[in-house]
Each structure stands twice: as structure tokens, then as C-alpha cells.
């Protein structure tokens, strides 16, 4: 036999093997990983570098609140939404809505093609059908009605033109009450604008202003007001409301008020302030009729308490009052009056906010009447869900069928789209052009962050395409905007022939020199015509447009008229608390009014106050629960005049007496994540409501509660309610903190009153005996500062972490078994102050990246180790899954992949390509977004800078980037100027479980509290070591 060398042998073996496999008739690739071919670009598109993200400034809107963000675009798709730090006057932060919109963008349930009568249709055919119906309606003299969410800017104009003014913009939790109040008080339907940053005293009647109610500017403003480093004061926040929600949890004083009686209390406060301030303006006549004693007995807030609030409000250098949890025009009027009589108009309270159309329930009722009368030919429903969110007794669903055509222009399947005979899944906010007029001086621009995922067309495009049928006269533009050549920029200052506040009035006069062919052209035309002329120092239009596009924001001269208080015949109503058990309905912090219920993150991320996931629950006051004989998770039946359902109980100390609370957002019948989860709060709403004066739709409900005896299936991820003196959350005396601020202190941590072992002189760095040498950090020691005073518990950081780090959704079943995959959680501790009031502390907890990490030393295979950047690194591939590290982590931040988790298509497209998707059996945890720090280091190293400057690190991790209040700040401890290095010297700095000598990289800043004594000792028996001879946070200097 000829010599067979090794290679020939292997070849022969391979052929024989392949042949035998083929002969068996199997797919001969069954055992191989599928081959995916990577094709390089032949011609690289501009802006696209594989592996490098591109950022598009855009705008995300919830209700009348809009916020500039950036879409992080990678390889043809948007993978994340981040802060837009270049937007002048905004300063970062990501609204939760933006992240939830991102997930809805990739929702597996999203409608992908037009549906005509349930059958898939082409866009041309669908548009033709719409045009035909609109044409017919016009010919027959019937109305074409738009029914959608709050909308301003170019689209609102186009819709108004398209429907000849029959555009209805209503949201169940929209701010129509304030619009009504503004109409009453100022004679103009323009929302007020609040500047909380200046307020020394904030009085709220339950508005979730740190949640979904306003924009992030309120959250940022409130954080500024509470920030001892800004203005040397800490605002006091009083809450007069029946229910403590996530926003109310940040209140320093809570005055429990009867459900529905907030307006009485508010008018009483207004009167007391007016008399204290000696106010004698136009409103004094109205207030003279207010009986404080009556209001006190009606609301359950005592006269002394009302007086206390009024005194603090009146004495504050600047103060602001905010309205209620659910729309109530009278309450809004009362709040406006408080702000006016106390002299805070144009100090913290401005009458130049959002001026887009906002409609109330009475407009919706009128629409239903018109529908029933057969006056509506075409009903166009936008991205809103009236079938879900209107009381059934209103009969919207039946009425809608009486329109000749009901078309939904929405990409998410809802209870309303289920009724529509024509569905046009228009492009969503991340795919479309658009703009918003946030307030009198701010214009926000929206641009697509990727080409539409499916065959979507822009809503504006659809309207323009069917415009002729609608008899639309497009916006007049003198010449097509040409962006390819710069303009002469002569339009500096006032444009001679345009009155932007009344564009429609122009249309009859000006000839249609140009009819925009695309929605983008229409938008550009609007900006050229209306925004550009009012801009400040815009340069040429091309420059102005590109700059606005890049920043997402344009500042313009105010279009608001100076406010004049013109209260006429208004008389304050007498509101009493709901009889029997009062039911307070409130917006869910994540699911809002239910529109985000089908975004899995909104279900998976725990409710900030109760830890509830994936379900509905009713909150009962402890007294009421005792009276009913129910405890947590027992099932009860809620019955109001409008409806009834069964739901599980959460006994909730943020309610007093005979009160219950229930969140909006669940009880859907559509969407895989929302379907049949929990109960719909709108089903309990008042059947007969006018939303205007006297009878709000959602407030002041009374409810009957019956114990059913069954156990419910609700689930909370929260363990204990108090930290039991373990110093997870620490409160310090607010005035004392306001005095010293966060200036480097000789005695870091002094205000916290914690007897730090780390400060014990016996354990100083020199004599501190570590069994193993502390690790070396040559250039970086990445670290974070968590300001628990700034954290309001909103939870956007958690969702941002899910989005950035490919955290799987495990679902309710696995959360019930304790296996959620959150790398970052917010502990909510409900502590008692020495005077008996409560203090709710939100403590965001992520991996503390300890230098002497308990997890590292116990891993038998070195899968987790400390790297030179100071990160506690995790090598997924090396992990065998002993889970010892997690058992030994005192911060309990490690998460184990109990299974391999799947993302249904196309949610896979949202996965961050920079972060590996983990599989079954390995441990994972917060990495401080190592993919971002690595990229940043590389970027600077390419410029030969070997220590990334502090500014580039501060908001680098996804959580810190998303945080609207800068509660999370990232940095390098080796850089003396960095925020963590500086805040470690603060008198309110503390490190959780410092006594374990983990040498953690995360320091916390204590919360300001008006109820704890100045020394900062709060009730614990810990002694205080007076010998602060060393800086206890210097353990890091190696």
C-alpha cells in the first residue's frame, strides 16, 4: 500500500464521512452552526461605518410633553434612544416614552401592512379607498373627523386643514383640565409652563409631574430645586392628595385628602395665601366666597394643616402649585389662582406653554353625538385608543360604526383598530418626520432614525396623498425650499408677510405657488415659513434647518401674549370627598394611560412603589384592608356605578382611611404582552361626566369593595419595606445640607451620622489588613455616584439598561419564581421619620464594582475578575454556573440565566450588537456599560489621549444617560476632577455596606429630609466616632 500521509488520511476520512452522511438522506449541515454571510459594502454609504453608530436627533412625544432625544442608529436600524445633550435648554435625560416607543417600534404585534376590511391591502389601494371615502363625505356634506392624541406643529396644521377644523385631540390623561382652566383664567387655551427649578416650595395636588404628566423639564427642574449645590436651598415639597404615587413619594409632607376634594383644599389654600400676601387683584372676589373651615372638613385636611401649607407657600421666595392626578378643571383653576395670588406668575408659573389643540371630554361627547346623528362621513382615528379609554356608557364603539368609514392610522393593534374597517399602519415616531411646538419659544424637530421597518408610510404622506379628495389647501410657500444651496439669509427678523400665529387665515389670500409633494417638504416649508422667521440669529434657512436638525430644537421668539388674569363669573365649586370608599385612579409610571402596556419593558420593570409586575392591583389603605379583612394578594371585587371587576390587593401605606387606588394601563384585549393582563381602570370611570366644571370623568369616584375570599395572582418583586437600619437609604437634615452643599468636606459622610467602620481610625488604609492585596488601577477606576436626593424613582434607568444591555424579558411566571434579569433595580424603602411622618427612599442598586469584590474571590474558574479599569468583569464564556458569586454578593445584583431566553422577531433587531446575548447557565450583571467605556477609551486613545476627560464619562452608561435628574453620575476616580472623586468628599456621601470592606466603586449621596434632626442620627443606636481624622473614602488611592 502506498504511503498515506496524514493530510490524505484526513481528506479521505472527510469524504467518507460526508458521503455516508449524504447517503443517509440527512441534511448534511444539520450539525453545523448556520452560515451567515457578511457582505461588505461595495460602495460605502455616507454616514455608515460598520460597527460605528450614527446618532439622529429627534423628538418623542407623550401627550403635550415632548423631549428631544437621539436615535442610536447602527447598521441600518435604530438600536437605542439616548439623551440629546446638544439640544439647547434641555440638558439630557431620556423620557421613558422614548424607550417604550423604541420597543413598540420593534413590537412583534406591530401592524405591517394596510388592512382593508381585515384583508391585507397595498398602500396605493388603501390610500385610494381613503381618498374615495373622504371625497364622498365631502360631496355629501358630511364631516371628515380626526380623533387623535395631542399634536402640535406641522401635523396639527395639516390635520386641521384636512378635516376643515374637525380635528379632535383628546387623551384620557391629557391636560384638558389645564387648558380649560387657562381659558377661564387667561382667556386662552394655552397650557401653563412651570419652572420648578426656582421654586423653594412645591405644592402638588397629586399631578404625577415626576412621571408622565409633564416633560422631563419638570423632573429636571424639581431635581434642581432639591439640589443643595444649586442656589443653596432645598425645596420643600408638600402633597395634598389622597394617594402617594411615585411622584408623591418625593413629597416631604403629605396631607391626606379625601378623594375628589382636592379642589376644595386648593381653593382654601389659595384664600389663605391671598390673605397672607394681602392680595387684592381680580381673583380676590372669587376667593372671598371660599369657606376654609368647610373646605377643611370636606377635604379631611385640617385648617391648621391648610394654614401651614399656605404659610410655607407664601413665605417661600418662590413657590409653585401643581394640579391633580386626574384631569379636573376646577382644581387646575385653584392651582392657577394659588400661583397668581402668591405672586409667582412669571416666576415659577408662566402662561406661555403648549398651545397645540387640546380637547376635553365634552368635545368627545359632541363627536359621539355627531356620529350617532350620521353627520360624520369619515372618522380617522390616530394613535389613540378611545374604545379602551372611554367609559362604555358613552357608546363610542357603537357610534363609530355609524361613520361611513372608520379608518385607524396607527401601527399598533388596539381595541380601536379592531373595530376599524380600514387600518393604515403609518410610520411611528422613530420613522417619521415631524415637529412639535413645545411652548411659546421652543420648536422641536423630529426626523427618522431609520427607514421604516415595514412598509409604513408617514401619516403626513397619507394625508397629502389624499389631500385633493379632502379639498385640502396646503400651506402656502413662496418657493420650494431648496436645501442644496444656501439662501441669502435676508429673512433675519420679522418676515414681512407672514403671521405665524394665524397661518390658516393666510390661505385664502395667498395663491398656492407650491404644493408640497412629500411630507418632509411640507415640514420644511412650514419651518421656512413659520419657524425660521421667528428664530434668533438663524443665518440662512439652510444653516438654520441643518442646525435645528442636528440639535433637534430651535428656539424662537415667543408667540405668546403676556398673560392677563380675566376671571369673570367663575365661582369655586364645593367639592366633598367621595362618599364611602374613595377610589383614586392614577397613571401607571410605565404604562401611562395604557398605551405602552404592550411594550414588554413596561410590564417587566417593576412598579416603582409596589414592585408589581405584569398585572393590575388595587392599593388599599392599611386601615381599609384591616376593616375588609384582606391582606396582600387577596382578591377583592371593585364596583363603581360604571362597572365592576376582581383584582388583587396591595396594602399600601400611601393611602389613609377609606381610600383605595388603582392604576390605569392594564386590561387590554389586544397585543401579546398586554392581552388579558389585569383590569382596565377606565371601566370604573364615572358614567355621567362632563369633564368640565363640577364632574370630572376620572376623579372623585366612590367604590364598593368586597372580599371574594380567593387569592389573586399579582406579584411584587419587593422584599422588605424598610432597610431596618442597614443604611441602604440615608436621610440627612435638609436645611443643614442646604448650608454645606456638596463642597468637599473635611469630614466626608459626616451628615449621614453613620458610624463608618471605614472611618474607624483602627481601620485606616495604612493599618487596614486585607488578606489579599487590593487591585492596582493605573489609569482608570470607573465609579459611579448615586444621588438619592435627586432620584425620584421613575425607573427610566432600569428600562434604559434593559434596552442597552440586551436584558431578556422573562415574563410573569419566572418573575414569580424570583428570576427577573434586571441589572439595575431601584429599592424603595418606606421609612418612618422621628415625628411619625414617612420618608420614601429610592435607592438605585447596580453592581458596585468592588475593588475587593466578594464575588471574585469565590469563583472557582476566574470567570469574574477585577480588571485594570476597576471594573468587576464577567467572562460569560468561562462561567460554569456555580452561582457562588451571586450568593456571596452582598448587594444581590448578580443575575443568573436560568434558561436561554428568546426574543420574538423582530425584537431581535433591537439587540445591541456591542453586547453579547447570554445563554443558559451563565451569570451576568451590570458592567458599567463596558462596551461604551471601551469605545470611549479607544476613541480618545486614537487622539493620543490616555485618560478620557470627565465630561465624556459623566453620562456614559445607559442608566446615567437616561436619568433626567442626573442622579447617576459616572466617572473615573483616578481623575480628581471627576464627579465620583468629588462627591466622595461630600458630607452626605456614604457607601452601602462599607463595613464589609468591599471597597465599592459606587458612593451614594444621602437624601434631604425636613423631618430628621440636624445631627443626622435617625433613631439608630449607632455611636458616633468623633475622630474623623482621615478621609474614609480614600481607600482607593493605590
Partner 1 sequence: MEAIRPPSFPAANRDIIRVLFKPSALYLASLGLSISLVGVLGMALLIQTWWGMGMAGQNNASFWGTYIVTFVFWVGIGHAGTLISAILFLVRSKWRTGVYRASEAMTVFAVMTAGLFPVLHLGRLWQVYWFFPYPNQRYLWVNFKSPLMWDVFAISTYLTVSTVFFFIGLIPDFAIVRDHNKGLIAKIYNLAAFGWRGTNRQWHHYMAAYGFFAAFAAPLVLSVHSVVSWDFAMAVTAGWHSTIFPPYFVAGAIFSGCAMVITLLLPMSYLFGWKDYVNEWHYDALAKMCLLTSAILTYAYAMEYFIGWYSQNPHEWEIFRWRAVGEYAWAFWLMVFCNCVAPLPWYIPKLRTNPWVLWTIAGLINVGMWMERFNIVVSSTAHSFDPAMWRMYAPTLLEVCILLGSAGWFFMWFLLFAKTMPAVAITEIKEQIEPPLKGSLEAK
Chain residues that interact with partner 1, rule: CB under 8 A: 717-726, 728, 772, 814, 817-820, 825, 827-829, 843, 845, 854, 857-862, 878-884, 886-888, 890-892, 895-900, 920-923, 993, 996, 998, 1021
Place of cell 423653594: 200
**All 3 cell numbers of residue 919?**
445563554
Grid look-up 460602495 returns 43
Burial class (CB in 10 A: 0-12, 13-18, 19+), 898: middle
* Closer to partner 1 by Cβ: residue 209 or 728: 728
What are the CA-CA distances from residue 17 to residues 23, 24, 31 (Å)? 10, 11, 13
User: How far is 418 from 414, CA to CA, in rounded Å?
Assistant: 6
Instruction: Give the C-alpha distances (Å, rounded to integers) separating 854 from 154, 219, 771, 885, 1001.
Output: 57, 36, 12, 7, 13
Question: Cβ of residue 750: shortest distance to partner 1, in angstroms?
Answer: 21
C-alpha cell at 721: 419595606
CB atoms within 10 A of CB 136: 15
Strands (E), 328-421: 349-350, 376-381, 405-408
- Three-state DSSP at 417 gives helix
411 vs 831 by CB, closer to partner 1: 831
- Contact between 749 and 990 under an 8 Å Cβ cutoff? The reply is yes
- Judged by beta carbon, residue 817 or residue 946, the one nearer partner 1 is 817
C-beta of 122: minimal distance to partner 1 in Å? Answer: 44
* Cα gap 1000→1004, rounded to integer Å: 11
Q: Return the number of the residue (408 or 879) whose C-beta is nearest partner 1.
A: 879
Residue among 56 and 891 whose Cβ is closer to partner 1 = 891
Q: How far apart are CA 978 and CA 968, in angstroms?
A: 13
Question: Which set of grid coordinates corresponds to residue 961?
Answer: 444617560
Euclidean distance between CA atoms 990 and 1018, whole angstroms: 15
CB of 825 to partner 1, least distance (A): 7
Q: Which helix (H) or strand (E) holds 636?
A: strand 634-639
Distance of closest approach, residue 586 Cβ to partner 1, in angstroms: 22
* Closest separation in Å from C-beta 244 to partner 1: 18
- Going 953 to 958 to 960 to 961, the CA torsion angle's sign is positive
| Closest distance of CB 645 from partner 1, Å | 29
Query: For 627-643, b where at least 16 C-beta lie within 10 A, e where not — what string?
Result: ebebebbbbbbbebebb
Q: How far is the CB of 713 from partner 1 (least distance, A)?
A: 16
Judged by beta carbon, residue 282 or residue 881, the one nearer partner 1 is 881
Nearest residue (CB) to partner 1, 361 versus 605: 605
Nearer to partner 1, 222 or 901 (CB): 901
Say if CB 161 and CB 505 are below 8 A apart: no
State how far the Cα of 852 lies from the Cα of 675, in Å rounded to an integer: 46
Cβ proximity to partner 1: between 172 and 608 the closer is 608
Nearer to partner 1, 899 or 946 (CB): 899
Contact between residue 931 and residue 914 where contact means Cβ atoms under 8 Å apart: yes
Q: How far is the CB of 906 from partner 1 (least distance, A)?
A: 25
562 or 1021, CB closer to partner 1? Answer: 1021
Q: Do the beta carbons of residue 156 and residue 167 sit within 8 Å?
A: yes
Owner of C-alpha cell 438522506 = 25
CB of 108 to partner 1, least distance (A): 23
Q: Which has the closest alpha carbon to 608: 132, 290, 246, 224?
A: 246
CB of 1010 to partner 1, least distance (A): 24
Nearest CA to 827 among 778, 892, 775, 771?
892
Strands 143-148 and 167-169: parallel
Closest to partner 1 by CB, 351 or 786: 786
The residue (of 666 and 805) whose beta carbon lies closer to partner 1 is 805
Nearer to partner 1, 657 or 890 (CB): 890
Least CB distance to partner 1 at residue 31 (A): 16
Q: Which three-class secondary structure state does DSSP give residue 193? A: strand
Buried b (16+ CB within 10 A) or exposed e, 1008-1024: bbbbbeeebbbeeeeee
Whole-angstrom distance, CA of residue 409 vs CA of residue 426: 6
Rounded to 10 degrees, what is the CA torsion of 286, 292, 293, 295? 80
Quick one: 200 or 825, whose CB is closer to partner 1? 825
Distance in angstroms (rounded) separating the CA atoms of residues 615 and 714: 6
Judged by beta carbon, residue 573 or residue 811, the one nearer partner 1 is: 811
Q: Which is nearer to partner 1, 921 or 1013 (CB)?
A: 921
Q: Which residue has the cell 388599599?
A: 620
Within 10 Å of residue 250's Cβ, how many Cβ atoms?
A: 26
At its nearest, how many Å lie between partner 1 and the CB of residue 630? 20
CB of 885 to partner 1, least distance (A): 9
- What Cα–Cα distance (Å) separates residue 473 from each residue in 157, 458, 481, 523? 11, 19, 18, 15
CA 150 to chain centre: 17
Q: How far apart (Å, rounded) are the C-alpha atoms in residues 964 and 786? A: 13
Please enumerate in sequence order all residues whose Cβ is within 8 A of that of 263, keeping only pairs 6 or more positions apart, or say none.
324, 328, 330, 331, 334, 572, 573, 575
**CB nearer to partner 1: pick between 426 and 843:** 843
Min dist CB 338 to partner 1, Å, is 37
CB of 883 to partner 1, least distance (A): 4
Amino acid at each position: 500500500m502506498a504511503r498515506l500521509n496524514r493530510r490524505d488520511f484526513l481528506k479521505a476520512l472527510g469524504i467518507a464521512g460526508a458521503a455516508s452522511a449524504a447517503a443517509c438522506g440527512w441534511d448534511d449541515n444539520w450539525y453545523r452552526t448556520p452560515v451567515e454571510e457578511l457582505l461588505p459594502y461595495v460602495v460605502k454609504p455616507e454616514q455608515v461605518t460598520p460597527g460605528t453608530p450614527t446618532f439622529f436627533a429627534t423628538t418623542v412625544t407623550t401627550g403635550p410633553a415632548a423631549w428631544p432625544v437621539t436615535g442610536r442608529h447602527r447598521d441600518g436600524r435604530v438600536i437605542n434612544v439616548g439623551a440629546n445633550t446638544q439640544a439647547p435648554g434641555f440638558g439630557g435625560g431620556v423620557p421613558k416614552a422614548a424607550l417604550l416607543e423604541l420597543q413598540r417600534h420593534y413590537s412583534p404585534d406591530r401592524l405591517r401592512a394596510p388592512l382593508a376590511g381585515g384583508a391585507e391591502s397595498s398602500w396605493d389601494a388603501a390610500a385610494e379607498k381613503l381618498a374615495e371615502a373622504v371625497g364622498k363625505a365631502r360631496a355629501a356634506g358630511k364631516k371628515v373627523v380626526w380623533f387623535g392624541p395631542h399634536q402640535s406643529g406641522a401635523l396639527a396644521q395639516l390635520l386641521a386643514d384636512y378635516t376643515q377644523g374637525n380635528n379632535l385631540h383628546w387623551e384620557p390623561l391629557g391636560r384638558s383640565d389645564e387648558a380649560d382652566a387657562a381659558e377661564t383664567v387667561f382667556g386662552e387655551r394655552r397650557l401653563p409652563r412651570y419652572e420648578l427649578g426656582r421654586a423653594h416650595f412645591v405644592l402638588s395636588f397629586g399631578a404625577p409631574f415626576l412621571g408622565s404628566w409633564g416633560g422631563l423639564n419638570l423632573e429636571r427642574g424639581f431635581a434642581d430645586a432639591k439640589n443643595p449645590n444649586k442656589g443653596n436651598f432645598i425645596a420643600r415639597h408638600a402633597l395634598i392628595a389622597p394617594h402617594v404615587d411615585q411622584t408623591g413619594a418625593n413629597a416631604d409632607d403629605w396631607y391626606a385628602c379625601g378623594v375628589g376634594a382636592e379642589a376644595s383644599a386648593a381653593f382654601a389654600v389659595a384664600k389663605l395665601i391671598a390673605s397672607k400676601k394681602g392680595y387684592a387683584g381680580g381673583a380676590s372676589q372669587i376667593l372671598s366666597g371660599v369657606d376654609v373651615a368647610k373646605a377643611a372638613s370636606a377635604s379631611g385636611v385640617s385648617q391648621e394643616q391648610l394654614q401651614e401649607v399656605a404659610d410655607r407657600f407664601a413665605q417661600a421666595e418662590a413657590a409653585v402649585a401643581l394640579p391633580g392626578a386626574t384631569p379636573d378643571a376646577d382644581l387646575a383653576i385653584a392651582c392657577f389662582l394659588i400661583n397668581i395670588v402668591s405672586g409667582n406668575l412669571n416666576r415659577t408659573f408662566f402662561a406661555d406653554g403648549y398651545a397645540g389643540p387640546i380637547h376635553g371630554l365634552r368635545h368627545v361627547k359632541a363627536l359621539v353625538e355627531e356620529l350617532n346623528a350620521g353627520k360624520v362621513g369619515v372618522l380617522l382615528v390616530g394613535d389613540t385608543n378611545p374604545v379602551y379609554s372611554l367609559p362604555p356608557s358613552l357608546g363610542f364603539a357603537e357610534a363609530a360604526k355609524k361613520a361611513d368609514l372608520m379608518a385607524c392610522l396607527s401601527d399598533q393593534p388596539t381595541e380601536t383598530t379592531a373595530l376599524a374597517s380600514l387600518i393604515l399602519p403609518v410610520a411611528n415616531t422613530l420613522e417619521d418626520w415631524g415637529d412639535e411646538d413645545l411652548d411659546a419659544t421652543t420648536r422641536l424637530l423630529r426626523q427618522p432614525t431609520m427607514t421604516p421597518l415595514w412598509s409604513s408610510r408617514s401619516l403626513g404622506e397619507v394625508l397629502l396623498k389624499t389631500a385633493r379628495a379632502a379639498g385640502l389647501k396646503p400651506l402656502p410657500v413662496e418657493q420650494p425650499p431648496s436645501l442644496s444651496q444656501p439662501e441669502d439669509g435676508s429673512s433675519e427678523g420679522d418676515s414681512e408677510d407672514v403671521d405665524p400665529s394665524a397661518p390658516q387665515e393666510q390661505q385664502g389670500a395667498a395663491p398656492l405657488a407650491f404644493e408640497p409633494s412629500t411630507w418632509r417638504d411640507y415640514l420644511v416649508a412650514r419651518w421656512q415659513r413659520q419657524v425660521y422667521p421667528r428664530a434668533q440669529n438663524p443665518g440662512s434657512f439652510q444653516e438654520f434647518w441643518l442646525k435645528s436638525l442636528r440639535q433637534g430644537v430651535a428656539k424662537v421668539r415667543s408667540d405668546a401674549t403676556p398673560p392677563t388674569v380675566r376671571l369673570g363669573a367663575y365661582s369655586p365649586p364645593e367639592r366633598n370627598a367621595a362618599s364611602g370608599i374613595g377610589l383614586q385612579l392614577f397613571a401607571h409610571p410605565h404604562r401611562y394611560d395604557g398605551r405602552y402596556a404592550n411594550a414588554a419593558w413596561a410590564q417587566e420593570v417593576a412598579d416603582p412603589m409596589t414592585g408589581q409586575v405584569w398585572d393590575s392591583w388595587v392599593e388599599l389603605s392599611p386601615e381599609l384592608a384591616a376593616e375588609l379583612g384582606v391582606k396582600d394578594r387577596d382578591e377583592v371585587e371593585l364596583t363603581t356605578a360604571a362597572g365592576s371587576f376582581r383584582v388583587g390587593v396591595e396594602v399600601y401605606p400611601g393611602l389613609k382611611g377609606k381610600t383605595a387606588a388603582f392604576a390605569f394601563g392594564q386590561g387590554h384585549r389586544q397585543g401579546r404582552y398586554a392581552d388579558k393582563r389585569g383590569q382596565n381602570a377606565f371601566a370604573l370611570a364615572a358614567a355621567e361626566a362632563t369633564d368640565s366644571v363640577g364632574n370630572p370623568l376620572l376623579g372623585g369616584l366612590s367604590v364598593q369593595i368586597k372580599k371574594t375570599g380567593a387569592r389573586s395572582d399579582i406579584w411584587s418583586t419587593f422584599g422588605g419595606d424598610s432597610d431596618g437600619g442597614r443604611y441602604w437609604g440615608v436621610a440627612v437634615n435638609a436645611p443643614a445640607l442646604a448650608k454645606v452643599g456638596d463642597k468637599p468636606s473635611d469630614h466626608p459622610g459626616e451628615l449621614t451620622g453613620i458610624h463608618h467602620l471605614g472611618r474607624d481610625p483602627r481601620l485606616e488604609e495604612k493599618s487596614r489588613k486585607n488578606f489579599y492585596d487590593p487591585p492596582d488601577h493605573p489609569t482608570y477606576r470607573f465609579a459611579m455616584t448615586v444621588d438619592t436626593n435627586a432620584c425620584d424613582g421613575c425607573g427610566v434607568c432600569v428600562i434604559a439598561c434593559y434596552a442597552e444591555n440586551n436584558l431578556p424579558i422573562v415574563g410573569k411566571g419566572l418573575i414569580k419564581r424570583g428570576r427577573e434579569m434586571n441589572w439595575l433595580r431601584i429599592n424603595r424603602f418606606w421609612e418612618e421619620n422621628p415625628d411619625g411622618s414617612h420618608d420614601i427612599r429610592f435607592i438605585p442598586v447596580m453592581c458596585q464594582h468592588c475593588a475587593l469584590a466578594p464575588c471574585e474571590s469565590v469563583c472557582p474558574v476566574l470567570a469574574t475578575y477585577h480588571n485594570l479599569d476597576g471594573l468587576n468583569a464577567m467572562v460569560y464564556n468561562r462561567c460554569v454556573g456555580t452561582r457562588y458569586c451571586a450568593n456571596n454578593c452582598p448587594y444581590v445584583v448578580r443575575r443568573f440565566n436560568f434558561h436561554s431566553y428568546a426574543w420574538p422577531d423582530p425584537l431581535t433587531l433591537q439587540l445591541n450588537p456591542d453586547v453579547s446575548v447570554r445563554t443558559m447557565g451563565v451569570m451576568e450583571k451590570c458592567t458599567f456599560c463596558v462596551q461604551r467605556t471601551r469605545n470611549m477609551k479607544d476613541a480618545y486613545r486614537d487622539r493620543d489621549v490616555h485618560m478620557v476627560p470627565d465630561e465624556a464619562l459623566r453620562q456614559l452608561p445607559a442608566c446615567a444617560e437616561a436619568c433626567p435628574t442626573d442622579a447617576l453620575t459616572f466617572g473615573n476616580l483616578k481623575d480628581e476632577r471627576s464627579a465620583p472623586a468629588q462627591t466622595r468628599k461630600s458630607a452626605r456621601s456614604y457607601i452601602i455596606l462599607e463595613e464589609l470592606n468591599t471597597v465599592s466603586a459606587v458612593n451614594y449621596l444621602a437624601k434631604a429630609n425636613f423631618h430628621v434632626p440636624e445631627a443626622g442620627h435617625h433613631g439608630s443606636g449607632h455611636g458616633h466616632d468623633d475622630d474623623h481624622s482621615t478621609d474614609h473614602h480614600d481607600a482607593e488611592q493605590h
